[in-house]
Amino acid sequence: MKWKLAVCVALAVVLQSTLAALWRPLVYADLPLIVVVYFALRRDAVLAVFVGTVAGLGTDLLSSGLLGANGFSLTLTAYLLAALVTRVMIDNPLLRIPVMAGAAAFDTVVYFLLHQLLGQPPGTPLGGTIAETFAYRIIWTTVAGTVIAFGLDTLFNETSRLRRRHFAFRRRIARRGLTRRKY
Protein backbone atom coordinates (compact mmCIF):
# COMPACT_ATOMS: atom_id res chain seq x y z
CA MET A 1 0.00 0.00 0.00
CA LYS A 2 2.90 2.38 0.73
CA TRP A 3 4.28 2.10 -2.79
CA LYS A 4 0.84 2.93 -4.22
CA LEU A 5 0.75 5.96 -1.97
CA ALA A 6 4.19 7.09 -3.12
CA VAL A 7 3.24 6.67 -6.79
CA CYS A 8 0.02 8.65 -6.26
CA VAL A 9 1.83 11.55 -4.64
CA ALA A 10 4.59 11.60 -7.27
CA LEU A 11 2.08 11.39 -10.10
CA ALA A 12 0.02 14.22 -8.66
CA VAL A 13 3.05 16.51 -8.39
CA VAL A 14 4.36 15.72 -11.88
CA LEU A 15 0.94 15.98 -13.55
CA GLN A 16 0.23 19.30 -11.82
CA SER A 17 3.11 20.94 -13.69
CA THR A 18 3.10 19.03 -16.97
CA LEU A 19 -0.65 19.27 -17.62
CA ALA A 20 -0.46 23.01 -16.96
CA ALA A 21 1.95 23.23 -19.88
CA LEU A 22 -0.77 21.84 -22.19
CA TRP A 23 -3.62 24.03 -20.98
CA ARG A 24 -2.83 26.66 -18.38
CA PRO A 25 -6.26 26.74 -16.59
CA LEU A 26 -5.68 23.13 -15.47
CA VAL A 27 -3.38 24.57 -12.81
CA TYR A 28 -6.46 25.67 -10.84
CA ALA A 29 -7.13 22.04 -9.88
CA ASP A 30 -4.63 21.33 -7.12
CA LEU A 31 -3.87 17.62 -7.58
CA PRO A 32 -1.38 17.31 -4.68
CA LEU A 33 -3.96 18.86 -2.34
CA ILE A 34 -6.59 16.36 -3.50
CA VAL A 35 -4.28 13.45 -2.71
CA VAL A 36 -3.38 14.93 0.68
CA VAL A 37 -7.03 15.48 1.61
CA TYR A 38 -7.89 11.91 0.61
CA PHE A 39 -5.21 10.45 2.88
CA ALA A 40 -5.97 12.86 5.69
CA LEU A 41 -9.51 11.45 5.79
CA ARG A 42 -8.16 7.96 6.51
CA ARG A 43 -7.70 8.77 10.20
CA ASP A 44 -3.91 8.44 10.32
CA ALA A 45 -2.64 11.88 11.27
CA VAL A 46 1.06 10.94 11.18
CA LEU A 47 0.76 9.55 7.66
CA ALA A 48 -1.27 12.58 6.65
CA VAL A 49 1.34 15.15 7.78
CA PHE A 50 4.11 13.23 6.04
CA VAL A 51 2.12 13.01 2.82
CA GLY A 52 1.40 16.74 3.10
CA THR A 53 5.05 17.63 3.56
CA VAL A 54 6.29 15.42 0.74
CA ALA A 55 3.60 16.56 -1.71
CA GLY A 56 4.09 20.21 -0.75
CA LEU A 57 7.86 20.16 -1.04
CA GLY A 58 7.61 18.33 -4.35
CA THR A 59 5.34 21.07 -5.70
CA ASP A 60 7.61 23.81 -4.33
CA LEU A 61 10.63 22.34 -6.06
CA LEU A 62 8.92 22.81 -9.43
CA SER A 63 7.47 26.21 -8.65
CA SER A 64 9.05 29.65 -8.55
CA GLY A 65 7.38 30.37 -5.21
CA LEU A 66 9.05 29.98 -1.83
CA LEU A 67 10.54 26.58 -1.11
CA GLY A 68 8.57 25.14 1.78
CA ALA A 69 5.43 27.26 1.43
CA ASN A 70 3.30 24.49 -0.08
CA GLY A 71 4.88 22.03 2.34
CA PHE A 72 3.81 24.20 5.25
CA SER A 73 0.25 24.79 4.03
CA LEU A 74 -0.40 21.18 3.00
CA THR A 75 1.05 19.80 6.24
CA LEU A 76 -1.16 22.06 8.32
CA THR A 77 -4.21 21.29 6.19
CA ALA A 78 -3.59 17.55 6.45
CA TYR A 79 -3.20 17.65 10.21
CA LEU A 80 -6.35 19.69 10.80
CA LEU A 81 -8.40 17.38 8.57
CA ALA A 82 -6.98 14.26 10.21
CA ALA A 83 -7.77 15.69 13.64
CA LEU A 84 -11.30 16.65 12.55
CA VAL A 85 -12.15 13.32 10.96
CA THR A 86 -11.58 11.46 14.25
CA ARG A 87 -14.22 13.63 15.90
CA VAL A 88 -16.76 14.18 13.10
CA MET A 89 -17.87 11.71 10.41
CA ILE A 90 -16.78 13.57 7.28
CA ASP A 91 -15.27 10.79 5.23
CA ASN A 92 -18.32 9.66 3.27
CA PRO A 93 -18.46 10.43 -0.47
CA LEU A 94 -21.09 13.17 -0.17
CA LEU A 95 -19.43 15.07 2.65
CA ARG A 96 -16.10 14.93 0.83
CA ILE A 97 -17.35 17.73 -1.43
CA PRO A 98 -17.55 20.48 1.21
CA VAL A 99 -14.47 19.06 2.91
CA MET A 100 -12.50 19.38 -0.34
CA ALA A 101 -13.77 22.95 -0.82
CA GLY A 102 -12.86 23.93 2.73
CA ALA A 103 -9.42 22.38 2.47
CA ALA A 104 -8.77 24.18 -0.83
CA ALA A 105 -9.81 27.51 0.69
CA PHE A 106 -7.70 27.04 3.82
CA ASP A 107 -4.64 25.88 1.89
CA THR A 108 -4.88 28.81 -0.55
CA VAL A 109 -5.20 31.36 2.26
CA VAL A 110 -2.23 29.97 4.20
CA TYR A 111 -0.04 29.80 1.06
CA PHE A 112 -0.92 33.35 0.09
CA LEU A 113 -0.34 34.75 3.59
CA LEU A 114 3.04 33.02 3.94
CA HIS A 115 4.28 34.70 0.78
CA GLN A 116 2.97 38.07 1.93
CA LEU A 117 4.65 37.55 5.30
CA LEU A 118 8.04 36.80 3.76
CA GLY A 119 7.95 39.65 1.27
CA GLN A 120 7.28 37.66 -1.90
CA PRO A 121 3.75 38.76 -2.84
CA PRO A 122 2.18 36.47 -5.41
CA GLY A 123 0.50 37.79 -8.54
CA THR A 124 -2.40 36.64 -10.71
CA PRO A 125 -0.68 35.56 -13.91
CA LEU A 126 -3.84 33.94 -15.29
CA GLY A 127 -5.68 37.22 -15.07
CA GLY A 128 -8.45 38.45 -12.82
CA THR A 129 -8.34 39.60 -9.24
CA ILE A 130 -7.02 37.75 -6.23
CA ALA A 131 -10.58 36.94 -5.13
CA GLU A 132 -11.38 35.46 -8.55
CA THR A 133 -8.24 33.33 -8.43
CA PHE A 134 -9.27 32.08 -4.97
CA ALA A 135 -12.74 31.23 -6.23
CA TYR A 136 -11.59 29.42 -9.38
CA ARG A 137 -9.08 27.43 -7.38
CA ILE A 138 -11.69 26.29 -4.86
CA ILE A 139 -14.21 25.37 -7.55
CA TRP A 140 -11.79 23.49 -9.81
CA THR A 141 -10.17 21.63 -6.92
CA THR A 142 -13.55 20.61 -5.50
CA VAL A 143 -14.84 19.29 -8.82
CA ALA A 144 -11.61 17.49 -9.73
CA GLY A 145 -11.19 16.23 -6.18
CA THR A 146 -14.65 14.67 -6.08
CA VAL A 147 -13.95 12.74 -9.27
CA ILE A 148 -10.40 11.74 -8.40
CA ALA A 149 -11.42 10.59 -4.91
CA PHE A 150 -13.69 7.96 -6.43
CA GLY A 151 -10.73 6.72 -8.45
CA LEU A 152 -8.53 6.63 -5.37
CA ASP A 153 -11.23 4.65 -3.55
CA THR A 154 -10.83 1.79 -6.02
CA LEU A 155 -7.09 1.71 -5.27
CA PHE A 156 -7.06 2.16 -1.52
CA ASN A 157 -10.46 1.32 -0.16
CA GLU A 158 -10.40 -1.95 1.87
CA THR A 159 -14.03 -2.76 1.09
CA SER A 160 -13.43 -2.35 -2.64
CA ARG A 161 -10.38 -4.57 -2.46
CA LEU A 162 -12.23 -7.34 -0.67
CA ARG A 163 -15.11 -7.09 -3.12
CA ARG A 164 -12.71 -7.37 -6.09
CA ARG A 165 -11.08 -10.43 -4.55
CA HIS A 166 -14.48 -12.05 -3.90
CA PHE A 167 -15.65 -11.48 -7.48
CA ALA A 168 -12.32 -12.67 -8.89
CA PHE A 169 -12.85 -15.99 -7.07
CA ARG A 170 -16.40 -16.28 -8.38
CA ARG A 171 -15.26 -15.53 -11.94
CA ARG A 172 -12.59 -18.22 -11.68
CA ILE A 173 -15.19 -20.73 -10.50
CA ALA A 174 -17.51 -19.86 -13.38
CA ARG A 175 -14.74 -20.14 -16.00
CA ARG A 176 -13.55 -23.55 -14.86
CA GLY A 177 -17.09 -24.85 -14.47
CA LEU A 178 -16.31 -26.11 -10.99
CA THR A 179 -19.14 -27.02 -8.73
CA ARG A 180 -19.54 -25.47 -5.33
CA ARG A 181 -17.75 -27.28 -2.54
CA LYS A 182 -20.00 -28.91 -0.03
CA TYR A 183 -18.93 -28.61 3.63
Residues that bind other proteins (CB under 8 A): 13-24, 27-28, 32, 43-46, 49-50, 52-53, 56-72, 75-76, 79, 82-83, 86, 111-112, 114-115, 118-129, 133, 136-137
To other proteins, the closest distance from the beta carbon of 148 in angstroms equals 16
For residue 180, the 8-state DSSP code is P
Degrees to nearest 5, angle at CA 55 with 51 and 57: 120
Amino acid at position 108, single letter: T
Amino acid at position 60, single letter: D
Q: Which is nearer to other proteins, 127 or 177 (CB)?
A: 127
Q: Which is nearer to other proteins, 118 or 168 (CB)?
A: 118
Q: Which is nearer to other proteins, 121 or 167 (CB)?
A: 121
To other proteins, the closest distance from the beta carbon of 42 in angstroms equals 11
Q: Which is nearer to other proteins, 71 or 102 (CB)?
A: 71
Q: Which is nearer to other proteins, 30 or 96 (CB)?
A: 30
**How far is Cα 115 from Cα 65, in angstroms, rounded to an integer?**
8
155 by Cβ neighbours in 10 Å (0-12 / 13-18 / 19+) ranks as: middle
**How far is Cα 153 from Cα 95, in angstroms, rounded to an integer?**
15
Q: Which is nearer to other proteins, 6 or 168 (CB)?
A: 6
**How far is Cα 23 from Cα 124, in angstroms, rounded to an integer?**
16
Q: Mention every residue, 6+ apart, whose C-beta is less than 8 A from residue 145.
A: 29, 33, 34, 37, 38, 96, 100, 104
Structural contact between residues 100 and 34, judged by C-beta atoms closer than 8 angstroms: yes
